[in-house]
Amino acid sequence: MSSPTTSHRSLPVPDGLDGLRLDAALVRLFGFSRGRAASLVDGGTVLVDGARIGKGDRVHAGAWLELELPDERPATAPPAPVVGLSIGFEDDDVVVVDKPAGVAAHPSPGWDGPTVTGGLAAMGVRVASGGAPERAGVVHRLDVGTTGLMVLAKSERAYSVLKQAFRQRAVDKRYRALAQGHPDPTDGTIDAPIDRHPTHDWRFAVVSGGRPSVTHYRTIEAFRAASLLDVGLETGRTHQIRVHLAAVRHPLVGDLTYGADPTLAGHLGLARQWLHAASLSFDHPRTGERVLFQSPDPADLAAALGIARGES
């Protein structure tokens, strides 16, 4: 258990890091320098399946990593705004944010890193109290490693209206995704049920009897080893785009959890999956007017595209 002066991290080793040295796996998972990763292991603050191992020892997919990281802020310091969390629009009913990578939508078990809700609170933005306390104002989510647009409700009316709009699929969310290889057909629909993986419950999978899930994709640009897709969702299951593309053998570049090739991600300079929530459109909960918000590719994803284009 973490103390007030440390921060706890715990997660399984993704399939794509199977067989890597422990220090190299920490570099890929958390963006540490190789020196810091080695120092953490040598200092005894890293456990693999509850045991200490050497920095040069190999880790295997599914092994559980636990880290205790020093908290550089005083215990009494107020939460700092999330670096890179920008507000694209705000009124009395809604706030639209552009979420950076490495930030969760809200607090949850096993995650004590930065959150959108915490960042907004630190910026003095009050959100609706609807839903569970830790999810106040949240009407939809993005994965920690996914960047892009999220809308949160500020008024109780907006919370109710937006939740209903998401249930009725009246919200248009468009993603840009870089998938390995070249989907065939180039434009298509993946209609396959999703549920938790039968043996690895931190992942999701296409499972018979799972929740109905529909993803539409369109190829925008093809490169030597990957394809840039425009993706739209009929449903909003956890990890839906990641699971569906992996199921048709075109995982997101950099998505090691779902079987992406780590060599390609490394070549393109990616430390996360290439997935960005680029467009968000919905009827404003008070005026009924259709509103549209757009977000450009963040720097790391744009840089990866530049490398891919240079080789095509």
Question: Active-site residues: which are they?
Answer: 143
Q: Which helix (H) or strand (E) holds 162?
A: helix 156-167
Please tell me the distance from the alpha carbon of residue 232 to that of residue 85, in angstroms, as a whole number. Answer: 24
Cβ-defined contacts of 127-133 (< 8 Å, 24+): 127/95, 127/152, 127/153, 127/154, 128/152, 128/153, 128/154, 128/155, 128/156, 128/158, 128/159, 129/156, 130/156, 130/159, 130/160, 130/163, 131/159
Copy the structure tokens of residue 234. 């009929």
Residue 294, classed as helix, strand or coil, is: strand
CB of 49 closer than 8 Å to CB of 64? yes
Q: In 3-state terms, what secondary structure has residue 219?
A: strand
Neighbours of 134 (CB within 10 A): 13
CA distance 22 to 37: 8
**b/e sequence 138-148, b meaning 16+ C-beta within 10 Å:** bbbbbbbbbbb
Supply the DSSP symbol for 269: T
Q: What's the start-to-end Cα distance of the chain, in Å?
A: 49
Q: What is the DSSP string of 46-59?
A: EEETTB---TTSB-
Q: Phi first, then psi: what are they for 182, rounded to 5°?
A: -135, 105
Please give the Cα distance from 272 to 256 (Å, whole number).
Answer: 8
CA-nearest of 156, 141, 144 to 113 is 144
